[in-house]
Amino acid sequence: MNLNFKTICSAAVLCFVGNVFAMDSNSLKENSSNSKEFSQFIPIRQANHTQNKEILKNEYKKLIAAVKKKDIKTLESLIGQGVDIDETVFGNFSTPLKKAVKKGYTDVITFLLNNGADPNKAPKVLNFAVNTGNKDLVELALAKGANPNKALKLAVNSGNKDLVELALLKGADPNVQDKENNSMLMLALKKEYIEIARLFLSNSCSDHILDFIYAGKSKQPMSNDSIKLKERLAIFKNYDTPNEKGESPLIQAIRNLKHSDLQEILTLLLKNKLVLNRIDSSTGYSVLTLAKLNERGEEIIKLLEDAGARDVYIEPLESPIIRLYKYCLDKSNNLSWSDLKFENEIKKGKFGCFITIDRGDGNDKEVYDNGKSYNSKEEAQNKTADYTLRKLMKNKGLPAPDNRGPVKKLNDYCLDKSTPINLSDITYIRDINEDNTCNCKIKLKDEIFDLNLRCKTEMEAERIIAEYVYNLLVAKAKNGEASSSGTN
């Protein structure tokens, strides 16, 4: 019974398959050629890919040949025949515009842009236009769809104020930043482009509202472009925005500008909300301390002090590996960084590290291993570097490096019974500023220490204020003063 049932099922399946293959072949052909639904599954370009590719390749060769010869008439003829001005043969080659830019053929570039070439398919077209100072070409590229923000960054980097204004007029965001988070004001100050810096600071001038209506002493109405430019600059806000290294426009001005320009730029900067006690990450100094060390003059120092700037030094945080590297750079230590070799090992899922030193003097190699394991390779290397540095300095009779953070140093100072300050005398007061940055004050007995910080994190703010108070207390103790004054 079961066998007969299986046999019947098999026969039914075969009959069904036979009927499917017995469909009218002419009807199938008709459907495949006339049905829109069916044709959607057969990309025409793919079906004729080989034939199309050869045709497009020939057209492309003609375009490129005309570009190389700067033959505008041939280009006009090819475009008139319907040849794609941005032809790349299925993306295998560069566009004719890109080739023209590479050759530096301004007339050809202009022609191609005017006849529909996409500037975004030749990204260097703006670079070429800005670097050659060709305002008309920059304007044309922007009109055809090039990125105005890119034009602005290129213009600021080149120091061309006219092109900066043009990019802004064409819609560039004045608050755009580069890959390293440098604002346009920061870039201008870095490269000492004073006219461009003035432009971005123009909204800080007290008479900027009147400038919307009148131009200068002549009291003549401003042009539409001038009014639009003022409107674009009115939204600029990166007066104090730090880059990824923590540098601010104020730090750049103190570092780079000539004295003749510095006072004007500094006056304009100080009209805005700034972190006056921001620390220069490369030196550990505050802006005021930098100004004094760089001998910027009494007028500059007074401007900063009147605005609330303070002398602050924060010892830069360095990893043990960096400290060991700097130790090796000191020739008096008779040790080269190349003499050191970090050896890593893994034991039971933990990371270990030891350092081998071969001084190349024929003596046995020195091995430094603290015998401990850690959760990561980086931690193991840093701990071993710290251990090695301490051993090396001890062997030379040098004091061990102080790895304590600012808060720890301040706490230890207060715990020292020889000082007049107790740990219970100190209170940290943490604040969130209007711009969501962090400030931290220290209350020491009845005195308040406040640097008006604007830090990204509470920890950073605590570190800066703790270092400031610690250094101040140590300095006062050396001078024999029993107390210090707050900074509020």
Q: In the predicted model, what is the mean pLDDT of residues 422-435?
A: 90
Is residue 483 in a domain?
no
d(CA 478, CA 267): 36
**DSSP labels, 238-258:** TTS---TTS--HHHHHHHH--
Structural domain contains residue 293 = no
Tell me, what amino acid is at 270?
Answer: L
Q: Which of 395, 429, 450 is the last residue of a domain?
A: 395
Q: Mean pLDDT across the chain, nearest whole number?
A: 83
The mean pLDDT value for 41-57 works out to 56
Within this chain, do residues 327 and 389 fall inside the same structural domain, yes or no?
A: yes
Output the six-digit token pair for 475: 């300095």
Q: Give the per-residue pLDDT at 7.
A: 54
> Are 112 and 124 in contact, with CB atoms under 8 Å apart?
no
For residue 18, pLDDT beyond 90? no
Q: Based on the domain organization, do 377 and 420 belong to the same domain?
A: no
Domain final residue, candidates 395, 420, 446 = 395
What is the C-alpha to C-alpha distance for residues 164 and 168, in angstroms, rounded to an integer?
Answer: 6
Model confidence at 342: pLDDT above 60: yes
For the domain that residue 468 is a member of, what is the CATH number?
3.30.160
- The pLDDT score that the predictor gives to residue 1 is 45
| Residues 415 and 363 occupy one common structural domain | no
**pLDDT band per the 50, 70, 90 thresholds, residue 36:** very low
- Residue 301 near residue 264, CB atoms below 8 Å: no
Query: Within 10 Å of residue 334's Cβ, how many Cβ atoms?
Result: 11
Instruction: Indicate the pairing of strand 438-444 with strand 426-432.
Output: antiparallel
User: Can you state the angle between helices 161-169 and 194-201, rounded to 10 degrees?
Assistant: 30
| 387 and 438 belong to one structural domain | no
Q: Within this chain, do residues 383 and 421 fall inside the same structural domain, yes or no?
A: no
CA atoms of 215 and 221, how far apart (whole Å): 6
pLDDT of residue 481: 56
What residues make up the domain containing 337? 320-395
Contacts of 48 (CB under 8 A, 6+ apart): none
Q: Do 419 and 458 share a domain, yes or no?
A: yes
Q: How confident is the model at residue 354 (pLDDT cuts 50, 70, 90)?
A: very high
Q: Averaged over 443-462, what is the pLDDT?
A: 88
- Of 362, 395, 428, the last residue of a domain is 395
- Residue 98: what pLDDT? 93
Among 7-16, 90-99, 256-265, name the most confident range: 256-265
Q: What is the mean pLDDT of residues 15-38?
A: 43
pLDDT at 417 over 50: yes
9 domain-assigned = no
Burial 113-143 (b: 16+ CB within 10 A, else e): beeebbbebbeebbebbbeeebbebbbbbbe
pLDDT band at 457 (very low <50, low <70, confident <90, very high): confident
Indicate whether 424 belongs to any domain.
yes
Q: How many domains does the chain have?
A: 2
Tens of pLDDT, residue by residue over 130-152, are: 999 999 999 999 999 999 999 99
Backbone angles phi, psi at 235, to 5 degrees: -95, 0
User: CA separation (Å) from 394 to 28, 341, 364, 388?
Assistant: 92, 20, 19, 10
Q: Which two tokens stand for residue 227?
A: 């009014």
Task: Say how far apart CA 387 and CA 142 lie, in whole Å.
Answer: 59
Question: Percent of the chain, pLDDT > 70?
Answer: 83
In whole angstroms, what is the distance from residue 279 CA to residue 435 CA? 19
State how beta strands 340-347 and 426-432 pair: unpaired
- Give Cα 329 distance to the centre of its chain: 30
Task: Look at residue 53 in the predicted model and tell me its pLDDT.
Answer: 76
Tokens 């009109």 sit on residue: 143
Phi and psi at 354, nearest 5°, equal -140, 155
Same structural domain, 327 and 373: yes
248 φψ region: left (φ > 0), alpha (ψ -120 to 50), beta (else): beta
Beta strands in 307-449 (DSSP E): 340-347, 350-357, 366-368, 426-432, 438-444, 447-449
One domain, residues 435 and 459: yes
Over residues 57-75, the mean pLDDT reads 91
**How many Cβ atoms are within 10 Å of 330's Cβ, its own excluded?**
9
Percent residues over pLDDT 90 in the chain: 50
Distance, CA of 277 to CA of 279 (rounded, Å): 6
What is the C-alpha separation between 132 and 141, in angstroms, rounded?
14
Please give the sequence-ordered ranges of beta strands (E in DSSP) within 99-146, or none if there are none.
none
- Strand ranges of the sheet holding 447-449, from the earlier edge strand across to the other edge: 426-432, 438-444, 447-449
Q: Give the Cα separation of 487 and 109 in Å (integer).
A: 61
Q: Is residue 20 part of a domain?
A: no
> In this predicted structure, what is the pLDDT of residue 328?
92
- Evaluate whether 138 touches 160 at the Cβ level (below 8 Å): no
Model confidence pLDDT, tens digit, residues 79-138: 899 888 888 877 778 899 999 999 999 999 999 999 999 999 998 999 999 999 999 999
Residues 370 and 416 in one domain: no
In angstroms, how far apart are the furthest CA atoms of the chain? 114
Query: Which pLDDT belongs to residue 12?
Result: 53
Query: How far is it, in rounded angstroms, from Cα 321 to Cα 387?
Result: 10
For strand 220-221 and strand 340-347, is the pairing parallel, antiparallel, or unpaired?
unpaired
Q: Alpha-carbon distance 24 to 318, whole Å?
A: 82
Burial class (CB in 10 A: 0-12, 13-18, 19+), 312: buried
Looking at residue 205, what is its pLDDT? Answer: 56
Predicted local distance difference test score (pLDDT) of residue 23: 45
Which DSSP state fits 25?
A: H
Contact, 221 vs 213, CB < 8 A? Answer: yes
The confidence score (pLDDT) of residue 149 equals 97
Residue 384 in this model has a pLDDT that exceeds 80 = yes
Instruction: Please compute Rg for the chain using Cα positions.
Output: 35
Q: Is 40 among the domain residues? A: no
